[in-house]
Chain A
Amino acid sequence: MTLVKRRTAVIAAGLAAVLSFTTACGSSGPTGGGGATAWSLTGGDEQTFRTSFDSAGIEAQYFGNDAYKQKIRTAIGAGEAPTLVFSWSGGLLQSWVDSGKIMDLSQEAANDPAFVNRFLPSVARTGVLDGKTYAVPNNGMQPVVLFYNKELFDQIGAQPPKTWDDLMALVPRFNAAGIAPFSMGGQSKWPQLMWEEYLVDRLGGPEVFNAVAENKPGAWSDPAIIQANTMIQQLVDAGGFVHGFNSIATDSNADTALLFTGKAAMYLMGSWAFPTIKQADPEFITGGKLGWTSFPTVTGGKGDPANIVGNPANYWSVSATASDEQKQAALRYLREDLMNDTYVDSLLAGGSVPPLTGIEDKIARTEDPEYLTSIYEMASGAPNFQLSWDQALSPGQADTLLTNLEQLFLKQITPEQFSANMNATIGQ
């Protein structure tokens, strides 16, 4: 009898352990203590975030880029989102807004003009969806620029390309000198998207992509897209990209290393490559070997050559499922701690340019005034700052786009097949 009792007790204890473990899993969300929480990315502007969160008393966690994108979605779906939600705006934010998980900040913006007005309009605009403000910029502008190695250009006696024809003419010259014309981290897929975005914009202007984003049937068959893809395959055929570019991943910075170690002459990449080089090989910058310019023009193209693509910035949104207390703390942070003087100085020192109006003087007093000024002018003067397509589109379309683009670069599909495959995703 006692034996049976003891046995029952053991089983009960076992079950209790199982149940307490499961419930513990359910309640281990980031909310706790009533204070506001935030999730952000490691690397890049992490230090600026850390400092500002510490002084504002916000509890923050940091994740790698891909890990974050997957974790945040599950958290938002489960109602366990942090108070401050980090995003790229675009299609991802739109899907959260559609599910009612993100707070509408329009009232805040109306009450306090500086809430949004201090930002460059082209960058602030990306945080506005359906005419309502859902997100405000939280770090530097990230236009895609054409970096180049001045030393290698001197070696073959050439100038950086101003037009696509210049660019194509440079390819055989660099190859003949045993230098790869372009570095590229093809395994990460999105670096290939930068070529697509720029060429389509130069050829057809922003309207071409807008039609895609608006889900117009057959929008991917636009002649500008087909021509851009034909030009990409011509560049691949000519040997424009470094040997084995499809097995190079950008997360190891091997593509950036090809540029500053003198193996590749040019590198099309977001402005965040500058801080990476500054950290890996500071003498490459101080020695004046790093050059940068905007993407070449295309003869006969309809797009404005001053247009840029990339990430206008990253953004903060406020979770609609947070408690009132947390929401108030988060809004106070956005008004007072975000982009204050210390914050801006910290961004600039790290090689990032905050999307604020009237900071030219501040930029002139930094360590790298020349580079930071040209990024600021490029971004603030652009008639159109196109958000990266993989962020602007719905996640499902973006996944298909990146796979098809890689197959295009591999010449597994033709430009026409690319258009057909992508048209099938319209409306998804």
Chain B
Amino acid sequence: MSTVLQARDRAPARTPAPGRPRRRSGPSPLMAVPALAFFAVFAIVPLGGVAVLSFMEWDGIGDPSWTGLDNWALALADPATYHAIWLSVQVMVLSWLVQTPISLLLGVLIARRGRFRAVLGVLYFLPMLLSAAAIAIAFKALLDPNFGMSRAFGLDVLSQDWLGDPTLALYVVIFVIAWQFVPFHTLLYQGGVRQIPVSLYEAAQLDGAGPVRQFFHITLPQLRYTIITSSTLMTVGSLTYFDLVFVLTGGGPGDATRLLPLDMYLSGFSGNDMGRASTLAVLLVVAGLALSLGLSKLSSFRRGSQLEGA
């Protein structure tokens, strides 16, 4: 019974691969200067600007004027802000719950060798080639209750008001997001599965473990770091879902899909309230940082050896 576990313990998962050169020479840290300069000019400076703007009133045209904490007080007293945050949390949690099991199982399936799986894999990764805008436009057309696929296939079941019903729209958005991102996470898991030493499975087979036990006792534990990487990307990424939702629903019907990033954009560029938009942007940055740091801490992520795809 414990052979499997012992086999895992013996596996050199955390120690550096033997024979890897330990030279300290390599590219000089100075080589990072251009990249750091880019990062400073295009990330740090605008970020600081947004933080400053969150204490100002600005309609995007005239001169910004200081208002102190007004934007923060207004944004934090506005039910619309909490509605947007609640929607974002729902999308984050549900996306994770939907995408993780699917991509994990597909990743495991596709990781095995075989011509059939290779073809399936290639077909399956097609959504990764499409831009979010193209995906949104395609789904909008497919889901149209009068001209979409319900009409094309004569299936009345499909003739729901998918994007126009406030209770359905959010779930449709989560579905389309999953359709877009599951292939990417499948790829991550596929890579993770292929890194698991085959000897573990051979040992397990000798001990008479079936595929299900192999999955739960070898594959899943070995994929721990992959799961954390994928989950970090998923949860932090869900704070940035914008393009797809913007094109698919525009935040509607009503405010049913007005997620936090969308609320930020619409406040700033439709409502011309750059102060409120900047406040929401700072909230998003803080939430993203906290999430990503929290997940790393939780997993002592940085000390792991399986840093693939992070």
Contacts and interface: CB of A to CB of B under 8 A. Distances in A.
Interface string B20-53: 0000000010100110011001000000000000
A258 B148 CA distance: 13
Contacts of A101: 61
Nearest to B62: A99
B198 to A, nearest CB: 45
Contacts of B249: 187
B211 interface: no
A323 interface: no
Contacts of A395: 59, 270-272
Contact of B164 (A248, A254, A412): A248
Given A77-B61, A98-B62, A399-B270, A244 B30 contact: no
B252 interface: yes
A258 B146 contact: yes
A243 B252 CA distance: 17
Interface in B125-183: 140-141, 143-147, 159-166
Contacts of B221: none
Contacts of B273: 396
Nearest to A92: B272
B252 A189 contact: yes
Given A15-B33, A399-B270, A412-B166, A247 B41 contact: no
B164 A95 contact: no
A18 interface: yes
Contact of A410 (B37, B159, B254, B267): B254
A18 B38 contact: yes
A407 to B, nearest CB: 4
Given A76-B61, A248-B164, A263-B146, A15 B272 contact: no
Contacts of A403: 251-252, 254-255, 258
Interface residues of A, number: 44
Contact of B41 (A18, A70, A74, A242): A18
Given A17-B34, A76-B61, A95-B59, A246 B163 contact: yes
Most buried by B among A73, A74, A257: A73
Interface string A290-306: 00000000000000000
A96 B61 contact: yes
Interface in A88-105: 95-96, 98-99, 101
Most buried by A among B141, B165, B252, B271: B252
B309 interface: no
A7 interface: yes
B270 A247 contact: no
Q: Is the interface of B mostly helix, strand, loop or mixed?
A: loop
A110 B269 CA distance: 36
A74 B60 contact: yes
Contact of B269 (A7, A70, A398): A70
B266 interface: yes
A56 interface: no
Contacts of A254: 144, 146-147
A406 interface: yes
B252 A187 contact: yes
A399 B164 contact: no
Contact of B252 (A246, A394, A398): A246
B253 interface: yes
B250 interface: yes
A249 interface: yes
Given A189-B252, A412-B254, A15 B37 contact: yes
A7 B31 CA distance: 8
Please list the 7 inter-chain residue pairs (A to B) with the smallest Cβ-Cβ separation, ordered nearest first: A246-B164, A244-B145, A247-B164, A14-B34, A247-B163, A244-B161, A407-B254
20 contacts: A15-B37, A18-B37, A70-B269, A70-B270, A76-B61, A95-B272, A96-B61, A99-B61, A186-B253, A243-B146, A244-B164, A246-B161, A246-B165, A247-B145, A247-B161, A248-B164, A394-B272, A395-B271, A406-B253, A410-B166
Interface of A: 7, 11, 14-15, 17-18, 22, 70, 73-74, 76-77, 95-96, 98-99, 101, 186-187, 189, 242-249, 252, 254, 257-258, 263, 394-396, 398-400, 403, 406-407, 410, 412
Given A18-B37, A399-B271, 7 more contacts: A77-B62, A99-B62, A244-B161, A248-B164, A254-B146, A407-B254, A407-B255
